[in-house]
């Protein structure tokens, strides 16, 4: 049994386009790595030497401003692909927000493998276009939506993109309950809001019976249709 056989995201990751023998070949050039919260996998502006599939956990993409502040520019979830195949440098840093497991490849080895497997290159293109669509939706969220719509959209995305633990072959069902991998301040930074505004919106959604907050990080969606309506 290979690592691919027990992979939680094997049916959704970029390598899902490969057959058994191709998966074995890809497995031979990759390795599993576990990251602790706060541990970086890639650094902004550094040579692009790695690419990776996210198996478990949540990581942030961030860039630094001229005055030394960090700006979170994206979030990656299980089954997402990170890194720059065929690229020279990394455009942002990649850091674990939670404990995470990733399948890591040397970029040069992965590039050579992708050139020999058109189905994988096609999957890469599909992922790139899907990421472009998500980026455009995120621009709408940041530029046009109200504070309540931003937070509701963010919670819906979290519930839809986090993987149900232990469900390798189950359909992709949204989670009803999950742990936020972000602090309230990080949620505010991602959404372009203040921490006070984020806290008020959490409190309002709870008071309206749309969500419950058993702890500061736990979120339970009580009314998904109501949350979708809040998201606009």
- For the segment 10-46, what is each residue's pLDDT rounded down to a tens digit? 777 778 778 888 888 888 888 999 999 999 999 888 8
Contact of 17 with 11, CB cutoff 8 Å: no
Closest CA to 165 of 99, 83, 90, 97: 99
CA distance 180 to 190: 13
Question: Phi-psi category of 67—alpha, beta or left, where left has phi over 0 and alpha has psi -120 to 50?
Answer: alpha
What structural domains does the chain harbor? 3-138 (2.60.120.10), 146-230 (1.10.10.10)
Between CA 135 and CA 181, with CA 58 as vertex, the angle to 5 degrees is 105
- For the segment 73-110, what is each residue's pLDDT rounded down to a tens digit? 788 888 888 888 777 788 788 999 889 999 999 999 98
CA distance 217 to 232: 24
- For the segment 164-212, what is each residue's pLDDT rounded down to a tens digit? 544 444 445 678 898 888 888 888 888 888 999 999 999 999 999 999 9
Kind and range of the H or E run holding 73: strand 70-76
pTM value is 0.76
Q: Say whether 89 sits in a helix, a strand or coil.
A: strand
CA distance 84 to 192: 26
Q: Say whether 59 sits in a helix, a strand or coil.
A: strand
Backbone φ and ψ for 184, nearest 5 degrees, come out as -60, -35
């Amino acid at each position: 049994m290979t690592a691919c056989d027990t992979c939680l995201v094997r049916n959704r990751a970029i390598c899902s386009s490969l057959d058994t023998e191709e998966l074995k070949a890809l497995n031979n050039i990759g390795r599993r790595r576990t990251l602790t919260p706060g541990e970086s996998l890639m650094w902004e502006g550094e040579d692009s030497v790695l690419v990776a599939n996210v198996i478990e956990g949540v990581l942030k993409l961030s860039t630094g401003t001229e005055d030394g502040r960090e700006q979170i520019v994206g979030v990656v979830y299980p089954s997402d692909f990170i890194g720059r195949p065929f690229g020279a440098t990394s455009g942002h840093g990649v850091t674990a927000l939670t404990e995470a497991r990733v399948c890591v490849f040397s970029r040069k080895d992965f590039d050579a493998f992708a050139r020999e497997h058109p189905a994988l290159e096609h999957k890469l293109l599909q992922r790139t276009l899907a990421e472009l669509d998500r980026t455009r939706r995120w621009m709408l969220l940041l530029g046009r939506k109200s504070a309540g719509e931003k937070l509701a959209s963010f919670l819906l995305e979290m519930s839809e993109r986090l993987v149900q633990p232990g469900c390798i072959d189950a359909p992709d069902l949204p989670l009803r309950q999950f742990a936020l991998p972000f602090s309230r301040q990080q949620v505010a930074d991602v959404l372009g809001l203040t921490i006070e505004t984020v806290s008020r919106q959490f409190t309002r959604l709870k008071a309206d019976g749309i969500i419950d907050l058993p702890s500061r990080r736990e979120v339970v969606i009580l009314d998904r249709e109501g949350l979708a309506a809040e998201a606009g």
